[in-house]
């Protein structure tokens, strides 16, 4: 039998708390309104979410909801149990001004005390959020925990190594290549239903910082994944 590792010795909880507080205070910013992301979210819902034919009363979490574009789209479609998750106070205010229900949670820790028990959520929408997690395997474990067995999650992340340089965004910590992302999903109990890359051109600033002067290549990885098994981590 392998010797058990004493987590009380190996894990320094005060440091973990301190480091997370530093990330919150130093790196968190409001996404704010963006026609660019609003249009992309509309396209995403039409292309990936509408074909799923989710029940109108599905319990849906938009994790990393920003100013609520996905919530807007789903509300107009008649979905009745929508909750957005963001830690940005500015985005909370925008979403609440639209009448959305918002929870100010860390995207990696969805609290049981608020009713998010094991297998309590029907569908997770996570667009441009996982790259903000300092520990993406923990984040995916949490999504496995709250998602019902056999149910689906939409996951969209920026690809690494593009000239958009997403790795240098202020709170991008985990800009994963597709092979690493697929490996983490497999380890955390998800099967891939669909995986596509979405490539397009955008205009970015030039060397003088002038906006809209240089054509840049953008690439997102878009996945529909299914919870195929629960994780025995208790």
Residue ranges per domain, the chain?
A: 31-49+56-227
* Sign of the dihedral defined by the CA atoms of residues 108, 103, 63, 20, in that order: negative
pLDDT digits (tens, 9 = 90+) for 101-135: 999 999 999 999 999 999 999 999 999 999 999 99
The residues, any chain, with a CB within 8 Å of residue 101's CB and separated by 6 or more, are 82, 83, 84
pTM given for the model: 0.91
| pLDDT for the residue numbered 164 | 81
What integer best gives the mean pLDDT of the chain? 91
Which is the CATH superfamily of the domain at 31-49+56-227? Vaccinia Virus protein VP39 (3.40.50.150)
φ, ψ at 94 (rounded to 5°): -60, -50
Contact 130, 139 (CB under 8 A): yes
Contact 214, 204 (CB under 8 A): yes
The neighbour count for residue 113, using CB atoms within 10 Å, is: 6
Contact 184, 144 (CB under 8 A): no
pLDDT band for position 179 (cuts 50, 70, 90): very high
Q: Assign 91 to helix, strand or coil.
A: helix
pLDDT digits (tens, 9 = 90+) for 59-75: 999 999 999 999 999 99
Identify the residue with better confidence: 217 or 223: 223
| pLDDT for the residue numbered 232 | 80
Structure tokens at 141: 């474990």
The Cα–Cα gap between 230 and 196 comes to 25
The Cα–Cα gap between 230 and 141 comes to 9
């Amino acid at each position: 039998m392998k010797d058990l590792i004493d987590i009380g010795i190996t894990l320094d909880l005060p440091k973990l708390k301190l480091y997370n507080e530093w990330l919150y205070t130093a790196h968190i910013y409001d996404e704010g309104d963006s026609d660019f992301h609003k249009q992309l979210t509309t396209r995403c819902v039409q292309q990936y979410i509408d074909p799923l034919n989710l029940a109108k009363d599905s319990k849906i979490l938009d994790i990393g909801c920003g100013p609520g574009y996905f919530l807007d789209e789903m509300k107009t479609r008649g979905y009745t149990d929508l909750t957005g998750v963001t830690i940005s106070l500015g985005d909370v205010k925008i979403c609440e001004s639209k009448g959305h229900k918002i929870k100010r949670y860390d995207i990696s820790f969805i609290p049981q005390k608020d009713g998010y028990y094991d297998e309590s959520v029907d569908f997770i929408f996570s667009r441009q959020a996982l790259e903000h997690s300092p520990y993406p395997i923990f984040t995916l474990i949490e999504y496995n925990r709250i998602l019902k067995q056999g149910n689906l999650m939409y996951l969209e992340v920026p690809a690494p190594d593009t000239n958009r340089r997403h790795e240098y965004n202020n709170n991008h910590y985990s800009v994963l290549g597709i092979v690493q992302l697929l490996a983490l999903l497999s380890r955390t109990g998800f099967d891939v239903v669909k995986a596509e890359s979405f490539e397009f051109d955008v205009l970015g600033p030039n060397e003088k910082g002038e906006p809209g002067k240089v054509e840049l290549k953008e690439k997102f990885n878009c996945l529909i994944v299914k919870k195929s098994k629960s994780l025995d981590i208790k």
